[in-house]
Amino acid sequence: MLRDSLPTDESLFVVSLTVSDAIRPKVTVTLDGEQGVGIDECAQVSRRLARRIDEHYGEDASYTLEVTSPGADQPLRDPRQYTRHVGRSLALKLTDGTEKTGTLEAVEAEGIQLAEVVKEKTKKKTLPAALVPFQDIQEARVVISFK
């Protein structure tokens, strides 16, 4: 039911959908897109979802609906989110417990090309880009720089 109300525009996709377990449940939909997501797109999806919920559960249903985009501090959850971050620095936590930081050079079907930055004595060295499979990434965050 909800899936029918979610974006049909191929550039938008759902990153997460949660429903709180409360007397008045909160439905939170996080959207993203290849070019990001604007407030107008969130509002449009919110109206469509509210209409569908009302049609299915009745207008007297008690809930709170929030349609949002991921914040800059939130991890990347969907492989499609990486594309617009090419050229930026990422911090990765891998499933084997290791961590890597480097520049996202490219996105491929099976993973990302990361030019890892490593410390050697007192200076930093950038290694050639290497493939990091999506299945090996436990968490990826864009490193925010204020330089």
Rounded to an integer, what distance in angstroms lies between the CA atom of residue 38 and that of residue 94? 31
DSSP H helix total and E strand total for the chain: 1, 9
Rounded to an integer, what distance in angstroms lies between the CA atom of residue 131 and that of residue 141? 17
In degrees to the nearest 10, what's the CA dihedral of 89, 137, 20, 80? 60
For the record, the structure tokens of 123 come out as 């200076």
Rounded to an integer, what distance in angstroms lies between the CA atom of residue 29 and that of residue 46? 9
Question: Residue 112: helix, strand or coil by DSSP?
Answer: strand
Q: What is the pLDDT along the chain (147 residues), one digit of tens a residue?
A: 444 445 555 678 999 999 998 888 999 999 998 888 889 999 999 999 999 988 988 878 889 999 999 888 889 999 999 998 999 999 999 999 999 999 999 999 999 999 999 988 889 989 999 999 999 999 999 998 776
Domains belonging to the chain, first-starting first, are 2-68 (3.30.300), 75-142 (2.30.30.100)
Angle at 16 between CA 38 and CA 107, to 5 degrees: 75
pLDDT at 5: 47
pLDDT at 9: 54
Rounded to an integer, what distance in angstroms lies between the CA atom of residue 80 and that of residue 53? 27
**Phi then psi dihedrals of residue 55, to 5 deg:** -65, -40
- Strand pairing category for 26-33 and 64-68: parallel
